Amino acid sequence: MRLVVLVLCALVVALVDVARASDETFVEEVLVERLNDGVAALVFSFTSDAPANSTHLSKTSKPVASLMRVSRAETLDLWFGRGRWNARRYGAPTVTAKPSGAEVVGTWDAADADAGWRDATTMLGGIFCASLGGLRASTATTTPALMFRPWDGSSTATKRVDREMVTKYAHLPREAVCVENLAPWLKQLPCRERGGFARALRSAHDVFGAEHLTFGVRARVVGDRLSIEQTLMMALPSASTAFANAKDALSRAEDARCVATDRSLLHVRDGDSLRTYEMGVDEFPESMDGETSFRAPTLFVERFFTGTGNEAGGVVLDLERANWGGGEFNGRAPVRVRLFQTFPWFVKMYLHTLAVEIDGRAVSRDTLDGVRFVPAVDRARSSELEVQMMLPANASTIRLQFEYDKGFIRAQEFPPDGNRGFDLPPARVDAFVVGVDSSATPTITNARRSPFLDRLRAAVAAPTAMYTQGLLLLLPTPDFSMTFNVAGMTGTAVSVLFMTTISRLVSREAWRGYAR
């Protein structure tokens, strides 16, 4: 009787989970647009929504859902970047263009942050075949206080939330992004690359032949719902075979539609307008070619090293207004900026050397809204620098620079190719145009509502995120060949001594004078 009751209870639980699973949704979307300089951008978006505690999932990634339950994270992002998005040529990207390498960001309650980060990085590395095990070390992980938090562009430090949240961030600039990362990413889709718009991503040669590639996953828990967003953006030459193959696969997507998809939307940006087609409702366009569109970015961001030698140096970060054309002020608005950058412990940053210039004129650091600096601790903690500042309406550029000393590290702490140098993480800049009504954008006002377009609308009123490229730092490098020289010399000396000793011990006086 007890066994029957247990079986009935298990059946009831399973039926409840199946009922919850039927509440899942999956929407796939793709945006096609032509940019300047003969480049076309393709943005793929796959959004799934399901009950957070359901264990029977048919449209949502089960590994990612399990990861969110185990790590107790509220939001978790993993992004891969390859190549550089040239904003001066292409304009502003549709979604944030990530720098080369792998980036992980997550938010937790204060009590769960450390254990949750450890579990999240371990499981993410296993799911997406990435070397994220090193992110558990304190020297690779930072805890920003301003960046990656809600911000309305005000001068206040941060927008308050209902409870204290902890943000964990890490970046691996040396991560080699390849097919081993893309294949698990496609595996999280309900039909993988066998159906729907994902069929356009089946050729790894075409995808990784892009001039820039950004793809990743963002999972978040809101109430009792779990939302997973998978996004891929690539910039391809518009005359290339890869772009022609992608358009051909998209045009024939209805012939191999993913059965788990609730809606399939194709967006074609035509200059300043956006045309939307829904599979099964509208007739897909025979041509996806539109007029060239160029969205001027808020700022151009560059970062580089200064100084020579193996002892000290400097870092310069330039922020340039994108619509600056010289002459007098023509209705431009001030821009408030947040900067976040981190350096390993062997780059000794000095806050007292921080200097600020606006249009080439040195200004006091009192003009900054605020500065947060966490100094590094040898082999225990990286340094963090967060700066909030204002670029006036009548100014063109703002420059931040500071000095640093190079630390000495042990021979075993060098990477396999020590003479190549150390890849340093990129800096992130969030820019918010002050005093401009950006509640809507004409390019998506008349389009249908969808998860991807809703995110684009929300991004218009949010700060614009930009990344610099990573830096390559050369440290004083020991002569690694000395190890082999010492070993060879020691072995030679020991062998001569040993053979001489043995020869003296075993030789006989009677043998002297006889030839062998």
**361-387 residue pLDDT tens:** 999 988 899 999 999 999 889 999 999
Distance (Å, whole) CA 248 – CA 202: 13
Distance (Å, whole) CA 74 – CA 325: 43
Distance (Å, whole) CA 188 – CA 200: 16
Is the predicted pLDDT of residue 440 greater than 50, yes or no?
no
In a 3-state reduction of DSSP, which class is residue 207? helix
Q: What is the pLDDT of residue 330?
A: 42
Residue 228 — very low, low, confident or very high, per pLDDT cuts 50/70/90? very high
**Other CB atoms within 10 A of residue 218 CB:** 18
What is the helix, strand, coil percentage profile of the chain, to 5?
25, 35, 40
Query: In DSSP terms, which residues pair with 512 in a beta bridge?
Result: none
Handedness of CA 87, 89, 92, 96 (dihedral sign): negative
How confident is the prediction for the chain on average, in pLDDT?
86
DSSP string, 123-189: HHHHHTT---GGGGSTTT-B--SSTTS---S-SSS----SS-EEEEEEEETT----HHHHHHHHHTS
Per cent of the chain over pLDDT 90 is: 57
**351-367 residue pLDDT tens:** 999 999 999 999 998 88
Q: What is the pLDDT of residue 267?
A: 93
Q: What is the pLDDT of residue 21?
A: 47
Residue 139 — very low, low, confident or very high, per pLDDT cuts 50/70/90? confident
Residue 515 — very low, low, confident or very high, per pLDDT cuts 50/70/90? low
pTM for this model (two decimals): 0.87
DSSP string, 451-515: HHHHHHHHHHTSPEEEEPPPEEE------THHHHHHHHHHHHHHHHHHHHHHHHHH--GGGTT--
Residue 125 — very low, low, confident or very high, per pLDDT cuts 50/70/90? very high
Is the predicted pLDDT of residue 439 greater than 50, yes or no?
no
Task: Select the more confidently predicted residue: 416 or 405.
Answer: 405
Q: What is the pLDDT of residue 513?
A: 65
Query: In DSSP terms, which residues pair with 355 in a beta bridge?
Result: 401
What size, in residues, is the chain?
Answer: 516
Question: Which of 134, 26, 94, 68 has the alpha carbon at shortest distance from 443?
Answer: 94
**Which residue in this structure is represented by tokens 């790590």?**
71
